[in-house]
Amino acid sequence: MKKYSFLISVLLLSATVSQTNAQKIAEKYAKTITVKDLKKHLTFIASDSLKGRDTGSPEQKVAAEYIAKQFDSYGLKGPVNGNSYLQPVDLIKRGWGDFYLKTKSKEFKYLFDFIANTISPMPQEETFEMVFVGYGIEDKALNDYESTKVNGKIVVAFEGEPRLADGSYLISGNTEMSKWSKGEAWKEKMATAKSKGAKALLLISKQSVEEFEKVIKQRQTMLKRFGNARLGFADQKDPQGSDFAVLTVGPTMAADLFNTTVAQLDILKEKAITKSVANQLEKQSVGIKIERTAQPVETYNVLGYLEGTDKKDELVIVSAHYDHVGVTDGKIYNGADDDGSGTVSVLEVAQAFGEAAKAGNKPRRSMLFLTVTGEEKGLLGSEFYVTHPVFPLASTVSDIHIDMVGRSDKEHEGKGDYIYVIGSDKLSSELHASLIEQNDKHNPINLDFRYNDPNDPNRFYYRSDHYNFAKNKIPVAFFFNGVHDDYHQPTDDVEKIEFEQMEKRAKLIFYLTWDVANRDKRLVVDSDKK
What one-character DSSP code corresponds to residue 173?
Answer: S
What is residue 19's predicted lDDT score, i.e. its pLDDT?
Answer: 62
Measured between alpha carbons, how far is 500 from 38 in angstroms, rounded to an integer?
Answer: 10
Measured between alpha carbons, how far is 48 from 58 in angstroms, rounded to an integer?
Answer: 13
* Closest-CA residue to 300 (of 484, 472, 60): 60
152 Cα distance to chain centroid: 39
**Prior bond to 399 cis, omega within 30?**
no
450: number of Cβ within 10 Å: 13
Res. 350: pLDDT tops 80: yes
As a whole-number percent, the residues of the chain with pLDDT over 90 amount to 88
Total-model pTM: 0.84
Res. 255: pLDDT tops 50: yes
Res. 2: pLDDT tops 80: no
In 239-356, beta strands by DSSP E: 245-249, 284-297, 300-306, 311-321, 327-328, 331-332
Averaged pLDDT for residues 267-278: 94
Measured between alpha carbons, how far is 15 from 414 in angstroms, rounded to an integer?
Answer: 42
Res. 93: pLDDT tops 80: yes
Res. 10: pLDDT tops 50: no
| Burial per residue of 261-276, b for 16 or more beta-carbon CB atoms within 10 angstroms, e otherwise | eeeebeebbeebeeeb
Averaged pLDDT for residues 139-143: 94
What is residue 310's predicted lDDT score, i.e. its pLDDT?
Answer: 97
* Closest-CA residue to 371 (of 313, 299, 428): 299
Averaged pLDDT for residues 464-485: 98
pLDDT mean across residues, the chain:
94
Q: Write phi, then psi, for 336 (nearest 5 degrees).
A: -65, -45
Q: Are 133 and 254 in contact (CB under 8 A)?
A: no
> By mean pLDDT, which of 64-73, 236-245, 498-507 is the weakest?
236-245
What is residue 16's predicted lDDT score, i.e. its pLDDT?
Answer: 45
Distance between first and last Cα of the chain: 49
Res. 7: pLDDT tops 60: no
SS (H, E, C) 14-75: HHHHHHHHHHHHHHHHHCCCCHHHHHHHHHHHCCHHHHHHECCCHHHHHHHHHHHHHHHHCC
Measured between alpha carbons, how far is 500 from 517 in angstroms, rounded to an integer?
Answer: 26
Res. 168: pLDDT tops 50: yes
11-52 confidence digits (pLDDT tens): 444 444 456 677 889 999 999 999 999 999 999 999 999 999
pLDDT band (50, 70, 90) for residue 352:
very high
Res. 474: pLDDT tops 90: yes
What is residue 17's predicted lDDT score, i.e. its pLDDT?
Answer: 42
Q: Are 512 and 345 in contact (CB under 8 A)?
A: no
What is residue 14's predicted lDDT score, i.e. its pLDDT?
Answer: 42
What is residue 320's predicted lDDT score, i.e. its pLDDT?
Answer: 98
What is residue 15's predicted lDDT score, i.e. its pLDDT?
Answer: 43
52-74 confidence digits (pLDDT tens): 999 999 999 999 999 999 999 99
Measured between alpha carbons, how far is 470 from 400 in angstroms, rounded to an integer?
Answer: 11
What is residue 33's predicted lDDT score, i.e. its pLDDT?
Answer: 98
59 Cα distance to chain centroid: 21
What one-character DSSP code corresponds to residue 230?
Answer: E
404-457 confidence digits (pLDDT tens): 999 999 999 989 999 999 999 999 999 999 999 999 999 999 999 999 999 999
